[in-house]
Structure 1
Amino acid sequence: MRVRLSHPLRRAASPRKTAPLRGTAAAFAAAALTLTAVSGCGVAEAVETSSAGNELAGAKFVVGSKDFTENIVLGKIAVQVLKAHGAEVLDKTNLGGTVPNRESLEARAIDMYWDYSGTGWIEHLRNAEPIQDSAEQFKATATTDLAKNGIRWIGPTPLNNTYALAIRSEKAKELGVRTLSDVAKLAKTKPEEVTLCVETEFSTRDDGLPGLSKAYGMTIPKNRVSLLDAGVVYTETDKGRTCNFGEVFTTDGRVTALGLTVLEDDRRFFPVYNAAVTLREDTYKKYPALEKVLRPVVDKLDDATMRKLNERVDVEGEEPAKVSADWLGRQGFLGGKT
């Protein structure tokens, strides 16, 4: 089963909009009438409830997520951790792209979802240039979003799920490409070889193809760019028929599974995308234990860990809820069964 529909990044505009409900209680009640169970695949999940404490007893939260594998897994992690600490949680993961999640958060239809520092800085705060230092990027994003919009960021995770271009390894050797500057040179010397498979979102974002082309001085005709679903991008890049180069994400397990070569971003164009839980400041102040409950989990999520979790879903076909619960259990974050 493949559930990744678009990226994270972190991801931005989805054509699908939500109809925000005013107030957490209203969202909880309305969604409960229409949903019996929600998962990354839209089927009921059987994950046992565990107890790791009662810090959030009596609290009710609605947790959203974006609609690609990594963010769904992260959403499930939040759902399960909050429940393990006594909260009542409505699972609305796989809600849509960045826009539906952010709008739902601001409109109080959901209480939290995972976002990424680069997305916050460029998409939400409308800055044109990323900050290359990861710590400074996160600090600037979190501080500014809190001051301007009342949105708190609990993080960052060590994981950095940034964009990259990849190519099947044998083709990389044939063309002699190791870096994105090599691709830019190839676009001038052998333009017919520079064919791209990308998501629609990547084709329009400032931190996607338009900005990348400008930063590296590349001109790629539209007839050499194929717009595909994220999962198809990986398979078509591996096959090498539709395209030689594909847009990928650095924590995606399919990169390793398919034996793709990730090209070095030698001009450091792509922003840093460290994940964090985003929530309204009033929610954070009402439930200060959220920091204590979520922080240890956030700190454990590095690139290698996330890549393995993503691979279990996208390559091995496991359910996001099971994958997240297994990892949380091994780390001791769920306590004992109730």
Structure 2
Amino acid sequence: MRRAHPTLALLGAVLLGPATLGLSGCGLKPASAFLPAIEPGTIKPIKNLEGARLRVTSKEFTEQIVLGKLAVLALTAAGAKVQDNTNVQGSVTARLSITGGDNDLMWEYTGTGWITYLGRTEPIVDPQRQFDAVAALDLKKHHIAWLPPPAPLNNTYTIAVSPATQRKYGLTDLSQLSSVPVGQRTICTEPEFFSRNDGLRGMLAAYGLKYGSGVPAKNVMQMSAGVVYNSVKNGKCTFGQVTATDGRIQALDLKVLKDDKHFFPNYNPAITVRESVLKAHPELTPIFAKISPKLTTEVMRTLNSKVDVDGDDPVFVARDWMRAQGFIK
């Protein structure tokens, strides 16, 4: 299932874009507000948070729900009275619930903030500079604070191949797309990626290939996101459009090609919170500064896989990871 955050579309288009894809496409049941019993670990109760009411939201796809549960658990351990409002359909809906005051905080992606909410058309290649830019502008324009540091995980579009394909053609980078014979340049993609500016045609152009000739139209197969992964694994297509942190990459042992020309924007998540809430609770920054650096792409793939592949509940996946890191007990 494609995420709502990597988008170059206009704000309103997000509501009709990949964010509107239901959880059934990922095999995920709707998240509940159930919270298992926990005890503080390295995240200790904070006096200013004792009894404070904070409302946490998230978008509706697996990764966002897991991230939302991490925030709920962390704030609970710190002593807050947390209202779990995770699993909201669509980026715009979730964002408006923050700016409009219905929720207090959520994890958001730098690419989404920069391009979708702030209307910038050119992403910044360096992840830290992208974070700094979106944080400064969003605070100025919308009074939304981004808590540093951003997580190193990057949930963006990418292209994957099977291990057999990688061995056959010696593929490691997207620049090597042209080294594969034209007849074998078959690509499985979901319709959203096929039609987007930051999708198939743009990617091909960035890497010196033209849709229709460098990659013949008949070589491109559109299908649902969930089908793409197995189609790559089973050799139905040489290349498959996937999402970098999807757990099925790991589960199916797919090999992700490096975007060596930096075509795809960075989508590093960080906690976003209204400026007024942060002023009342500046301790939010150090709490999440403990968590964010631990969330790498590989870690997130594993957590997503536990939900999408193993069928575990997001809140237990989040709890177990938080315990393993010592944040809670």
TM-score bracket, shorter-length normalisation? 0.7 to 0.9
CA distance in 1, matches of 2:102, 2:151: 25
In the alignment, is the contact (CA less than 8 A) between 1:17 and 1:100 conserved in 2?
Answer: no
Residue of structure 2 equivalent to 1:6: 2
The residue type paired with residue 309 of structure 1 is L
> 1:260 Cα shift?
1.2
> 1:46 Cα shift?
5.2
Residue from 63, 87, 90 that aligns with 2:83: 90
Question: Against the structure 1 CA distance between its residues 150 and 46, is the aligned structure 2 distance closer, same or farther, given a 3 Å change threshold?
Answer: closer
Residue of structure 1 equivalent to 2:29: 41
> 1:267 Cα shift?
1.3
Question: Against the structure 1 CA distance between its residues 202 and 61, is the aligned structure 2 distance closer, same or farther, given a 3 Å change threshold?
Answer: farther
Question: Against the structure 1 CA distance between its residues 112 and 229, is the aligned structure 2 distance closer, same or farther, given a 3 Å change threshold?
Answer: farther
- Corresponding position: 1:273 with 2:281: no
In the alignment, is the contact (CA less than 8 A) between 2:6 and 2:157 conserved in 1?
Answer: no
CA distance in 2, matches of 1:316, 1:164: 23
- Corresponding position: 1:149 with 2:142: yes
Question: Against the structure 1 CA distance between its residues 226 and 279, is the aligned structure 2 distance closer, same or farther, given a 3 Å change threshold?
Answer: farther
The residue type paired with residue 30 of structure 2 is G
* Residues 200-246 of structure 1: per-residue CA shift (max 9 Å, x gap): 443344333343133223333565444444333222222232x3321
CA distance in 1, matches of 2:230, 2:5: 20
Residue of structure 2 equivalent to 1:115: 108
Residue of structure 1 equivalent to 2:55: 62
CA distance in 1, matches of 2:18, 2:129: 32
TM-score, normalization: structure 1? 0.80
> 1:325 Cα shift?
0.4
- Corresponding position: 1:53 with 2:54: no
In the alignment, is the contact (CA less than 8 A) between 2:6 and 2:265 conserved in 1?
Answer: no
> 1:16 Cα shift?
8.2
> 1:323 Cα shift?
0.8
The residue type paired with residue 211 of structure 2 is I
Question: Against the structure 1 CA distance between its residues 172 and 330, is the aligned structure 2 distance closer, same or farther, given a 3 Å change threshold?
Answer: closer
CA distance in 2, matches of 1:207, 1:104: 27
CA distance in 1, matches of 2:50, 2:228: 44
- Corresponding position: 1:230 with 2:225: yes
Residue of structure 1 equivalent to 2:24: none
- Corresponding position: 1:182 with 2:162: no
CA distance in 2, matches of 1:50, 1:313: 23
Report the count of equivalent residues.
Answer: 306
TM-score, normalization: structure 2? 0.82
Residue from 276, 286, 289 that aligns with 1:282: 276
CA distance in 2, matches of 1:260, 1:123: 30
The alignment-based identity, stated in percent, is 41
Residue of structure 2 equivalent to 1:239: 234
CA distance in 2, matches of 1:297, 1:111: 18
In the alignment, is the contact (CA less than 8 A) between 2:247 and 2:308 conserved in 1?
Answer: yes
In the alignment, is the contact (CA less than 8 A) between 1:10 and 1:115 conserved in 2?
Answer: no
SS at match of 2:154: coil
In the alignment, is the contact (CA less than 8 A) between 1:194 and 1:245 conserved in 2?
Answer: yes
Residue from 311, 314, 317 that aligns with 1:323: 317
CA distance in 2, matches of 1:161, 1:271: 9
**101-110 or 277-286: bigger deviation:** 101-110
**55-64 or 75-84: bigger deviation:** 55-64
Q: Please list, as runs of the form range in 1=range in 2, the aligned pairs for 1:184-199 lying within 5 A after superposition.
A: 184=178, 186=180, 190=182, 192-199=183-190
SS at match of 2:193: coil
* Residues 84-109 of structure 1: per-residue CA shift (max 9 Å, x gap): 22222222222123222222222223
SS at match of 2:158: strand
* Residues 129-153 of structure 1: per-residue CA shift (max 9 Å, x gap): 2211111111111111111221111
Residue from 153, 158, 166 that aligns with 2:160: 166
Residue of structure 1 equivalent to 2:204: 213
The residue type paired with residue 7 of structure 1 is R
Residue of structure 1 equivalent to 2:98: 105
In the alignment, is the contact (CA less than 8 A) between 2:31 and 2:65 conserved in 1?
Answer: no
Question: Against the structure 1 CA distance between its residues 284 and 132, is the aligned structure 2 distance closer, same or farther, given a 3 Å change threshold?
Answer: same
Residue of structure 1 equivalent to 2:23: none
CA RMSD after TM alignment:
2.7
Question: Against the structure 1 CA distance between its residues 324 and 104, is the aligned structure 2 distance closer, same or farther, given a 3 Å change threshold?
Answer: same
In the alignment, is the contact (CA less than 8 A) between 2:156 and 2:266 conserved in 1?
Answer: yes
CA distance in 1, matches of 2:140, 2:178: 40
Residue from 57, 78, 88 that aligns with 2:71: 78
Residue of structure 2 equivalent to 1:26: none
Residue of structure 2 equivalent to 1:257: 251
CA distance in 2, matches of 1:228, 1:83: 41
The residue type paired with residue 242 of structure 2 is V
